[in-house]
Amino acid sequence: MAQKTDAQDVLALRGRFIVLDGPEGCGKSTQAKMLGERLAKAGAPAALVRDPGTTRIGERIRDILLDTLHIEMAMRCEMLLYMAARAQMMREMILPALGAGKVVVCDRFVSSTLAYQLGGDGLTAEEIRRVGQVAISGRWPDLTIILDMPVEESFARVKREKDRIEQRPAEYHQRVRRSFLAQTEADPAGYRVIAADRRPDEVHEDVWRAVVQFAERG
């Protein structure tokens, strides 16, 4: 009976925008896929996107951003490139999917910029949000789920060669984690924090619970 109730509640998520975010190696892509599959089974088809990327232009920008050859990139340039990829994805993928009644599940979004680029070159949260407002046409996520875990554990999960962002020192990534958690404290209605240093199925059950609870609020 509980599963049937969950499915009925999830139908209210049609046309809603959910973001999964967090530090490196926290399992965002895995959880996005699991959530998308479960939403579809519950009768609420999902469109899965990743930020930056998904579109042809976005993937080209992603390559530039993560390439270790671009060590001289200024933080303001980095922020604007992320926003440019986001603007294309909003126009080409996210807004059409929301308009079609799909649930959009996004791997990272402006919440990442507020964690990774905040403070670099003197960037403030207000500046990032102003640029973000333009890039995303004012369509902010309805729910952002932060998959949280200690930096040491998250990096132990990254088995491939580290990209330009991942190569930054541990102190930087500690600040990133604190910035993610600060966002959730500042907006408890729009954010949820879920411990990600567990088995994927355990994390997924908490993600699903958070999504159903959000749907119940309407």
Domain CATH code at residue 201: 3.40.50.300
Pair 43, 103: CB distance under 8 Å: no
Domain that holds residue 64: 2-217
What's the pLDDT at 11?
86
Overall domain count for the chain: 1
Closest residue by Cα to residue 75 from 186, 178, 164, 171: 164
* pTM score of the predicted model: 0.94
Strand ranges across the sheet with 103-107: 46-50, 103-107, 17-21, 143-148, 191-195
pLDDT one-digit tens code per residue, 169-205:
999 999 999 999 999 999 999 999 999 999 999 999 9
pLDDT one-digit tens code per residue, 94-103:
999 999 999 9
Tell me the mean pLDDT in the region 27-38: 97
